[in-house]
Amino acid sequence: MLIDKLRLQIKKYFPREIYFLFILLGMILSLFLFVEIADAVTEGKTASIDNQILLLFRDVDNPGKPIGNERFPYIVRDITSLGSSTILTIIVLLVVLFLLLKKEYRSIIYVLSASIGGGILVQVLKFIFSRERPDTALYLASEITMSFPSGHSAMSAVVYLSLAVLISRIENSRKSRIFIITAALIISFIVGLSRIYLGVHYPTDVLAGWMIGLFWALFCWFIAVLIEKRN
């Protein structure tokens, strides 16, 4: 009886139960992986592998020199800017202004809640873990905040996935929806990789950023659906 009542409640808010299971599984899995990564980092279990991976992106004889031709670091810096607070803020503001013109007030609240909430969450986590960044000899870009989790990785996942969800909800084509969400995931992925290449984050910082960003994006999506169906 309890299971039947639970299924009725789920169907009330999520007519297609697969969506509910997808969001719930994604939230649980991403949060679990973040906790596992954070625990391993706190205990110092990842130090060796983190440094080994970082050095894969450097010349064997000169750790300060990145792999690739002279132009490649500039390309990577362009990519990493896609996850910067400045670029993401501009994108969010432009989207909010567009939604304001369309009088999509609920969508505005959704986008702002996801973006601002995600930013606060990342900064709180950075303060809690207070992990120092990699050796400055590896830096190809300057940073002043703590290392764990990667803010670029987390916020690119939050913002681009939230916007992808927003667009996919008004897009009828299933292929288009898949493309939009996949594109958001790819952008978040390459932004994270760029942070490792630039030597400003350990790989575990980036992994943790992806996981907490994915968790927050799915959580906001989950809450938005509940509120929409309730009203």
The 10s digit of each residue's pLDDT in 125-177 is 999 998 888 876 566 677 778 889 999 999 999 999 999 988 887 777 778 88
The pLDDT, as a whole number, for residue 13 is: 52
> Does 201 qualify as catalytic in the annotation?
yes
Task: Give the least confident one: 59-63, 86-90, 173-177, 192-196.
Answer: 59-63
Q: Would 3 be classed as within a structural domain?
A: no
- Calpha distance 162→220 (Å, rounded): 8
The pLDDT, as a whole number, for residue 224 is: 82
Domain count, the chain: 1
- Calpha distance 84→80 (Å, rounded): 7
More confident residue, 14 or 214: 214
- Calpha distance 113→135 (Å, rounded): 35
Confidence band of 229 (pLDDT split at 50, 70, 90):
low
Please give the average per-residue pLDDT across 64-83, as a whole number: 87
Q: Would 10 be classed as within a structural domain?
A: no
The pLDDT, as a whole number, for residue 202 is: 92
Q: 134, 131, 125, 130: which is closest to 57 by C-alpha?
A: 134
Domain that holds residue 28: 18-230
The pLDDT, as a whole number, for residue 152 is: 94
Confidence band of 6 (pLDDT split at 50, 70, 90):
very low
The pLDDT, as a whole number, for residue 176 is: 85
Q: Would 9 be classed as within a structural domain?
A: no
% of the chain at pLDDT higher than 70: 87
Q: Would 8 be classed as within a structural domain?
A: no
> Does 219 qualify as catalytic in the annotation?
no
Catalytic residue among 133, 162, 201, 209: 201
Mean pLDDT (the chain, rounded):
86
Q: Would 132 be classed as within a structural domain?
A: yes
Confidence band of 14 (pLDDT split at 50, 70, 90):
low
The separation between the first and the last C-alpha atoms of the chain, rounded to the nearest angstrom, is 27
The pLDDT, as a whole number, for residue 2 is: 44
Catalytic residue among 58, 126, 152, 195: 152
Q: Would 193 be classed as within a structural domain?
A: yes
